[in-house]
Structure 1
Amino acid sequence: MSRRPGPARLPRTLGVLGLAPLLVLVACTSGEEATTPGGEQDQGTEVPEPVELGLAGAVEDHLRAVSDLGADLVAEAGQDTLVVSPAGLATTLAMLGAGAGGATRGEIEDLLGADVDATLEAIQALRAARSDLDQDPAMIELDPLPDHAILHLANQVVLAEGTEPHQAWSDTVTGRLGTEVVTAGEDELQQVLDDWVNLHTAGLVEESGIDADQDTLLVVQDALLVASAWLTNFSESSTSEEDFTLPGGDVVRVPTMHAERPQAYAEVDGHQVVAFDLLDGLDLAVLLPAEGTAPTQVTAEQWSSVSDALAEGEQPIVELALPRADVETSLDLMPLLGTLGAAELVGGSPDLGGILEEDLVVDQAVQQARLQVGEEGVVAAAVTEIGGTGSAQPPPERVEMTVDRPYALRIVDQDGWVLLHGVIGDPRGEA
């Protein structure tokens, strides 16, 4: 089976290499009906009823939890270059949490900052608030960037053929998020996952991070795509090759954009941060850590302080030098979820009985992301996927039996009728 869909469509000025410590600040979008190539649709995808942002009680708690999750993820991963989607991970966890119980549900709710039902309502409200930025993924073109921002989120549940979800769980994820629920045979399961990822990220992420096999029962997928030009562009004529110091201390030359203009700016604990206006109310914040501090060492509390400082609205003239960036990363979430507090979920015996009749074991959890920053604007995509199989049976006890002395045997029918009974003192048949 081919694992390589068509090539990504990249903005012409963003397809160059460079590195920068970045945080993309995005909101969520509506769950409108999505077209999934391949697979058989189990349940019609519906557009959730809009929830007013001011009426969803857990929005602030959820936003704080998502911000903390982003900082904690990169800190725990320990990678020098990494792009994550805390919003995507939180949404995926909320979907699983809707079918979880006991300690598994409790640890998911701790990570989400509120109970699962309130979190799903908050996500639904956030999506409804920015539904005007959503677009049919099949119609998205990123070259050139459009004159409006794109913010597209989608969710899918893929079930192995013959697997039936509990109706209450599927109603919840469909009604809250517009999740599409499809089934796929073993020979097409991988392609269904791959095609959906490619479609809903406009090719920025080419294929699923899940390796589906005959034991895969369920995969929960979340995709995010954000694309926007700057409100005020960088001039390509101002871009020049400049020094950039890598984490190990080596210095390389990278294409660096330059601008001098009023910008939202703040300093927190020696960290410098500037916020760029994208179109239609989106923002991108760039944080330069204090000297001697790695970007992964900026704490969740400091990021919260950064947000508060930027909200004060100070806009000095900022002389900015910012490298172009084109970063593609993949992250195994399995060990990280355990250290972040979801040990029950990934520990081999989670309580996910509200999803399927079969016992589920989470055996794969992956997040892939692509981020491009250039003179025209910003393009980013992320896919979060969690896959489950049937409960793993403990390995059988190993014993050793060497028949090297006289032994007995019987031939017995299914009712226990002993047809033959023998003792073998010499297997050669000698008396």
Structure 2
Amino acid sequence: MNTKIISLIITGLIAALLLPACGSNSEEAMNLQERSHAAESLDSRIVQAENAFGLQLHRQLTELGDGGNVILSPYSISTALAMTWNGSAGATASEMADVLGWNGMDVEQINEGNKQLAKLLSGSADGIELQTANSLWYREGIAMKKSFLEMSQNVYRAKVTELDLSGDDALDRINNWVREQTQHKIDSIIDNPIDPSTVAILVNAVYFNGTWKLKFSEDATKEEDFTLEDGSVEKVPMMKQNGQFPYLEGDTWQAVRLPYGDGRLDMLVVLPKPESSLDELQTELWADPSPWQQAFPKALVELGLPRFKVKNTMLLNDALEQLGMKKAFDREAADFSGMADVRPLFIGAVKHKTYIDVNEEGTEAAAVTSVEMVGTSAPATSATMVVNRPFFFAIEDAQTHAWLFLGSVTNPLEE
């Protein structure tokens, strides 16, 4: 397949679909009328900021990449960073808010907006399954700020766990949580033993499974040519159907929306015309996405869509730093004093994994984002020691452990 065209399809899908609630969802979704009423009170700046951030990050990842697939979940990344941002302060908080698009909004507006969006988009409905969850795993013995823990639980409905991150089971527990929340579509977010300097790991997981409102017939799927960006041609399984869909056409592109289930979610597919290219389309999209965010009129569309399944793993540090989030990654400059009184405390890694499977029945997608907070090396134990009575001492060679001097002190003032 043309990997760049697939990347744009996936970006449209993730931006349109992966906007569920911030915690594990067990409640039923609102019906279309209830959602329409609730949407009127939602602060639209939250959604606008998230979409804009997603496109900016998509651009950075595309420009930094090797021309392959670019798959991301703006919601997952924004949510993981939003929890982290609540523990930041000063210039670090300002930079993060600027990159995430929250200028002009205060902490209460941002958190309340995210909470309302969670309520608006929570639960599952006919033909649509949405699951999303947040978790915070912090090193045993670290005094995390009470206000930060309460925010994580009350606003983002995070599972908060104090854990021996140096223990053998810590990696398994976090990855098992990821596996469970994504229906085993993403097996892990931490692939190596946890660094002993890690203070906390914040994780967002999203799972989506939607059945097309108008399914493709498997009998209609045929192997057809797909022209890659370099002009070469490959055979791909092309799904086919004719139907009425929201459709819009520009001078250099075509766009269609394919609804899922009861129609509250859809896939947006944008295709450059033969005389144009994905590079030209992306340049337009990054500059002004509004043509693809408006309502489309319905048209009878003869549609062909490739069947595809893609997995992607990315480290987002460089892309986020290039967008302006610099201090958060800087060991000396980072200020996360709202999270814990640990210095230094900074973001060591923002990892992102995605999965998508588009077929005749519908679409299954999952995303996980982790933010690893790094500080000082983990202490073996937590203890208090006041040398206020007679004591023994030794001056030793650290490598051989040979005691060069030793003695007992019963009175420090005695010469």
TM-score tier after normalising by the smaller chain length = 0.7 to 0.9
Corresponding residue of 1:352: 336
Distance 1:391 1:270 in 2: 53
Q: 1:210–1:387: 8 Å Cα contact kept in structure 2?
A: no
Q: Which amino acid aligns with 1:68?
A: A
Corresponding residue of 1:28: 19
Corresponding residue of 1:335: 318
Distance 2:23 2:78 in 1: 19
Corresponding residue of 1:376: 361
Corresponding residue of 2:386: none
89 and 382 in structure 1: CA distance in 2 versus 1, 3 angstrom threshold: same
How far does residue 110 in structure 1 lie from its aligned partner after superposition?
A: 1.6
Unaligned regions of 5+ residues in structure 1, if any? 1-17, 36-50, 135-146, 393-410, 418-431
Stretches (4+) displaced over 6 A: 411-415
Corresponding residue of 1:75: 59
**What pairs with 1:44-193 in structure 2 (closer than 5 Å)?**
53-56=39-42, 59-78=43-62, 79=65, 80-114=68-102, 115=105, 116-133=107-124, 148-185=127-164, 186=166, 187-193=168-174
Corresponding residue of 2:301: 318
Select the residue among 218, 227, 242 that pairs with 1:245: 227
How far does residue 85 in structure 1 lie from its aligned partner after superposition?
A: 0.5
Q: 1:112–1:119: 8 Å Cα contact kept in structure 2?
A: no
Q: 2:115–2:155: 8 Å Cα contact kept in structure 1?
A: yes
Distance 1:109 1:269 in 2: 36
Distance 1:414 1:52 in 2: 74
How far does residue 213 in structure 1 lie from its aligned partner after superposition?
A: 2.2
Distance 1:52 1:19 in 2: 33
Q: 2:25–2:122: 8 Å Cα contact kept in structure 1?
A: no
3-state DSSP of counterpart to 1:132 = coil
Which range moved further: 316-325 or 204-213? 204-213
Distance 1:153 1:125 in 2: 15
How far does residue 232 in structure 1 lie from its aligned partner after superposition?
A: 0.6
271 and 346 in structure 1: CA distance in 2 versus 1, 3 angstrom threshold: farther
Distance 2:24 2:58 in 1: 32
Corresponding residue of 2:401: none
Distance 1:296 1:163 in 2: 45
Corresponding residue of 1:224: 206
Q: 1:28–1:153: 8 Å Cα contact kept in structure 2?
A: no
RMSD: 2.8
Q: Deviations over 1:124-149 (max 9, x none)?
A: 11111122328xxxxxxxxxxxx520
Q: 2:21–2:119: 8 Å Cα contact kept in structure 1?
A: yes
31 and 92 in structure 1: CA distance in 2 versus 1, 3 angstrom threshold: closer
Distance 2:58 2:72 in 1: 7
Corresponding residue of 1:397: none
Q: 1:19–1:327: 8 Å Cα contact kept in structure 2?
A: no
Unaligned regions of 5+ residues in structure 2, if any? 27-36, 378-404
Corresponding residue of 2:292: 306
How far does residue 111 in structure 1 lie from its aligned partner after superposition?
A: 2.6
How far does residue 299 in structure 1 lie from its aligned partner after superposition?
A: 2.7
Distance 1:74 1:29 in 2: 20
3-state DSSP of counterpart to 2:249 = strand
How far does residue 414 in structure 1 lie from its aligned partner after superposition?
A: 12
3-state DSSP of counterpart to 2:256 = strand
Corresponding residue of 2:259: 277
Q: 1:267–1:306: 8 Å Cα contact kept in structure 2?
A: no
Q: 1:220–1:385: 8 Å Cα contact kept in structure 2?
A: yes
Q: 1:27–1:127: 8 Å Cα contact kept in structure 2?
A: no
Which range moved further: 197-206 or 355-364? 355-364
How far does residue 88 in structure 1 lie from its aligned partner after superposition?
A: 1.0
33 and 305 in structure 1: CA distance in 2 versus 1, 3 angstrom threshold: closer
Q: Which amino acid aligns with 1:97?
A: W
Distance 1:363 1:331 in 2: 14
Q: 2:223–2:236: 8 Å Cα contact kept in structure 1?
A: yes
Distance 1:220 1:71 in 2: 23
262 and 20 in structure 1: CA distance in 2 versus 1, 3 angstrom threshold: farther
Q: 1:240–1:255: 8 Å Cα contact kept in structure 2?
A: yes
178 and 339 in structure 1: CA distance in 2 versus 1, 3 angstrom threshold: same
Q: 1:62–1:112: 8 Å Cα contact kept in structure 2?
A: no
237 and 112 in structure 1: CA distance in 2 versus 1, 3 angstrom threshold: same
Q: Which amino acid aligns with 2:175?
A: D
Which range moved further: 161-170 or 244-253? 244-253
Q: Which amino acid aligns with 1:389?
A: V
31 and 71 in structure 1: CA distance in 2 versus 1, 3 angstrom threshold: closer
Identity score, percent: 25
1:195 partnered with 2:195: no
- TM-score normalised to structure 2 length: 0.78
Which range moved further: 77-86 or 227-236? 77-86
How far does residue 283 in structure 1 lie from its aligned partner after superposition?
A: 0.8
Q: Which amino acid aligns with 2:121?
A: R
Which range moved further: 287-296 or 95-104? 287-296
Q: Which amino acid aligns with 1:289?
A: P
94 and 77 in structure 1: CA distance in 2 versus 1, 3 angstrom threshold: same
Q: 1:53–1:122: 8 Å Cα contact kept in structure 2?
A: no
How far does residue 249 in structure 1 lie from its aligned partner after superposition?
A: 2.9
Distance 2:407 2:163 in 1: 42
Corresponding residue of 1:40: none
- TM-score normalised to structure 1 length: 0.75
